[in-house]
Amino acid sequence: MNKYRPLLISLLGLCLTASCQLVDRFLNGDVLARAGKDVLYSREVLDLLPKGCSPEDSAHIIRQYIDSWATRCLLLDQAENRLSKEERNIDRELEELRTHLLVYRYEMLYVDSKLDTMITGQECQDYYQENPQSFISDTYVITCRYVGISLSSPNLQVVKKLFFSEGQDDLEELKKVCYSSADKFFCYDDWISLEDISRELGQSLSHCEDILNGSDRIIIERDGTLQMVYVTAKVLPGQVSPFSYCREKIEDIILSRRKQELLANLERNLLNEAKSSGKLIIYKSE
């Protein structure tokens, strides 16, 4: 405990208005606080302090923990004193919770051991074509290029000239200039949501949607930086999103279905085996 003495002295000076006797107890790792019959020891609080935490921050963490701990203890004390015997009886709820947790853990263990995670491109394509309504976009899905460059950059005019060009040579030249001069430069050849671009721009999604309603370019000057987006292809809201954009979502759906099928088979097999072996007997009512 000696190695904590300088820090603890600082903490106590900042956040505890305790007596000298309580200070001694804290430094010796004894009782830090009491709430009714519950006791909080200083060693329990010390474990919460991150390495390198300043005395001020540590004091704040300790004060918050003490308040939270005391509130929890006092509320529990009130509950035990104010609730009836029947209301305090939680054996049934605890047993139900235990049952739920154990069943859930076993199901996850079973699924992990049986689940086939290999998903072919054809499976994804089939699902995409059979369920187009599941992939209708609620915003623009686009391919684009993006640049953020200082308004004071000596290459600003070069970038502005090349950025919206369709020529491959110009694009290669643009990449070279941007890699050395721009703060950020991306070419999104695969489909992304306009929402991702709006966050990069620091603009609202609705503002970016309004711009794209009649243009393929977004140009914003903000905080001494010129941000430009050139949309090379787009799918409008209400249209079906491209397959490559939906691929990850489709794989998640297929895996989820396989998990549900495994669990359904597990339950069905358990019931059938229990009935066959006599472990499960269902008595018919008259």
- pLDDT tens digits for 235-260? 999 999 999 999 999 999 999 999 99
**pLDDT tier at 7 (50, 70, 90 boundaries)?**
low
Where are the alpha helices (H) located in the chain, listed in sequence order? 5-15, 20-27, 42-46, 55-82, 85-88, 91-114, 121-130, 156-163, 168-181, 194-201, 205-212, 243-277
The angle at the Cα of 169, spanning 167 to 174, to the nearest 5 degrees, equals 95
Residues 45-61 have pLDDT tens digits of: 877 778 777 888 888 88
> Over the Cα atoms of the chain, what is R_g?
32
Stretch 192-220: mean pLDDT: 94
Residues 68-124 have pLDDT tens digits of: 999 999 999 999 999 999 999 999 999 999 999 999 999 999 999 999 999 999 999
- pTM, two decimals, is 0.70
Residues 163-176 have pLDDT tens digits of: 999 999 999 999 99
Q: What's the confidence (pLDDT) of residue 21?
A: 45
* CATH, range 137-235: 3.10.50
**pLDDT tier at 284 (50, 70, 90 boundaries)?**
confident
Tokens of 132: 């187009």
What is the rounded distance in angstroms from the CA atom of residue 171 to the CA atom of residue 190?
A: 17
